[in-house]
Structures are given as structure tokens and as C-alpha cells.
Amino acid sequence: MPHNDTRTSRAPSRAACEGATVAAPPVECGADGRPRGVGIELEFGQLTAARAAEVVAAALGPDARLREDDPHRFRIEPLADGPWRGGFRVELDTRWAHPEHLMAYAGDIADDPDPELPRRAAALFGTVAGLVMPVELVAPPVAWRDLEALLPLVSALRRAGATGTESSAFAGFGMHLNVEAASFDAADLLAVLRAYVLMAPRLRRDSGLATIRRVQSYIDPFTVDYARHVLNPDYSPGLGRLIDDHIRFNPTRNMELDMLPLFAHLDAARVRRWLPEEKISARPAFHWRLPDCRIDEPGWRPLDDWARWVAVERLAADARELHVLARTFLSKGPRWEIEARLARIVETFE
């Protein structure tokens, strides 16, 4: 599709999505006519998975059902008529704390005649690893306009003593947003990638990333070479080439914007040919890994980072502005001379 396409003519179905009190994306509803879903993952310290699961279940109300998968992983089913599109998972964020991983990758344990050995070994490893590894809350998607439903859970975990990424020099705790894609068309996905590489320096600056997360390799930025590749006005790939090129430049899930779950949802076989061993959970969503989790800071709100993501989508939907900024980047490089223009775009919607 040519770069000067008519993407901006795709008006959001705002009438069907009235009542939002959070930043509205330019395309509000998905292909199924429902408001697009957003799932959030929070990493934090100080609480065990068991304690965190109890706190989340209590915050969801007396009808929430809590069950244990293993000593370091719990699932919570919320009230059926609530905003949540599925269940919650609370777990220690290391695969070695969970027996199925030990059974799959530690043959000696899997072959032991004692069927309880993998569970006991994983439980012991998790108890030790829990001294340094975060607990993760994986929330199911909610309609973007219902994101405020997450705030009571954040407050409850804060009151229970959960700590965020600034609590320790080694605590690189993040918040991940899983944002349902409005379209699976290659041209639309490319527009989001173009907008993201243009806005990435500003997003990193405005997010106020903790030093530890800046130096860790879990949220790598896209290289200038990749940015130039996708911003080339002659680049108009089909979906297969878009996936191949992306993985060739970025052969890891540890990117600030992880496209692998979305690409695996669209073409799992192609992604696995490139990355047969990578840990990828296919889902129809952008996996934005950049934001910090600052759950212990009273003024911290996940909705602020959601608004930053919405700014990316708004730029992606503005074909003319996207073209101008891409041309500036290609002619002058990734410098701050485009900052003022980007600032005006964001401030228009604040």
C-alpha cells in the first residue's frame, strides 16, 4: 500500500464506545465491534505469589475464585459479569519455579520414580529465587475504556507492601501492555512500527525509566538501521516479508515493543522457523514492554503509560504527519530536531 494511503479516513466508531474516561485510541473498536482489549502485566517485589494472589482475589470481590497451580503460581477467576475478559494469573516470574518446566527440561528429575519430586524441587527453587525474582500479575484484557478497573488492584497491592522498580538497585520491574491490534493488515502494522520508531526517544524520556531497566537487555530499543529500513517510503511489504524483516533485525522478544506475540498469532510457523526456542505467547496484540512498574509510588497510574501508547497510535493514523516525520528522520537522522513537532502531536490530545 502506498504510504500516502487513506488510513486517516478510518474514523473510530466513537458512538459505540461512549463514556471513556481514559485516553481514546484512534480506532476504538476491533473487528468484532467491541472496544479493543488491553491486558496489563505488572512485575513487583516483596510479596510472595501466594500473598499477592490473595490480595488480588480480595480486591476483585467475594465472588472471585482463587486456585493454586503450584506453590508459586495461582489463578483467579473474577465475577463473570465484570469487565474482565478472562482470568488472572499471579506467579513467580521464573519458569524454573514451576514443575512442568522442570519436567520438560531437567530429564533426571522427570525420570525419577517419585512423581512429587518435580513439584518439590520447583517449590524449593522458587522459594530461593523469590528473594530476587519478581512476582508477576498477568491481568486479562479489558475494554480500553474500562482500564480504570485495574486501579483498585494496584492500590490493594500497594497497601499490602508490593514494591516497584525504584525499590532496589537490582529491581528492574516493568509493566507490560498487551494492546489488541485494530487491524492485522500489513500496511496498518507497518504504520504503527513507523510511528513507534519515530516516537521511541520521546517515550523513553517521558517514561522516566529507572537506571537499572535502561541498562538491562529486556527492553532493547530498535536500531537506527531498522528504523531506516521501515521508514523508507518505498518499503511496502506484505505480512510475510514484514515478519521476516522484523525478526532479521530483531531476533529476540526482549525489545521495548515486542512484536513476536502478534506475529506468532498471525503466522506461527514463520515465526518458529526463525526462533524455534524463543519463549513466545501468541496473542492478537502489541506487547509493549517499555514502562516501569512503580506500584509503590502513590501517584503512579498505569493509565499514564496507556496514554503514551495512544499517542503512538494517533501518529500511526495520521498518514501525512507520519510521512513528514519519516522524511525528516531519513534526511537528518534520529536527532531531537523532530522533538518539537512530536510534542505538538502529543499535546493536541492531552
pLDDT on residue 176: 97
Question: Of all helices (H) and strands (E), which one includes residue 57?
Answer: helix 49-60
Q: For position 4, what pLDDT does the model report?
A: 34
41/137 Cα distance (integer angstroms): 6
Residue 136: phi and psi, rounded to 5, are: -120, 130
- Give the span between the Cα atoms of 336 and 271, in whole angstroms: 34
Task: Give exposure, 287-326, as e/b (b: 16+ Cβ within 10 Å).
Answer: bbbbbbbbbbeeebbbeebbbbbbbbbbbbbbbebbeebb
Give residue limits of the domains in the chain. Answer: 41-89+134-162, 94-133, 164-350
pTM above 0.75, yes or no: yes
Distance, C-alpha 74 to centroid of its chain: 21
**pLDDT (tens place) for every residue of the chain, 350 residues total:** 333 333 333 333 333 344 347 999 999 999 888 999 999 999 999 999 999 999 999 999 999 999 999 888 999 999 888 999 999 999 988 776 666 766 666 555 555 556 677 777 767 666 766 667 899 999 999 999 999 999 999 999 999 999 999 887 777 899 999 999 999 999 999 999 999 999 998 999 898 899 889 888 899 999 989 999 999 999 999 999 999 999 999 999 999 999 999 999 999 999 999 999 898 999 999 999 999 999 999 889 999 999 999 999 999 999 999 999 999 999 876 654 455 456 545 544 54
Q: Which amino acid is at 87?
A: G
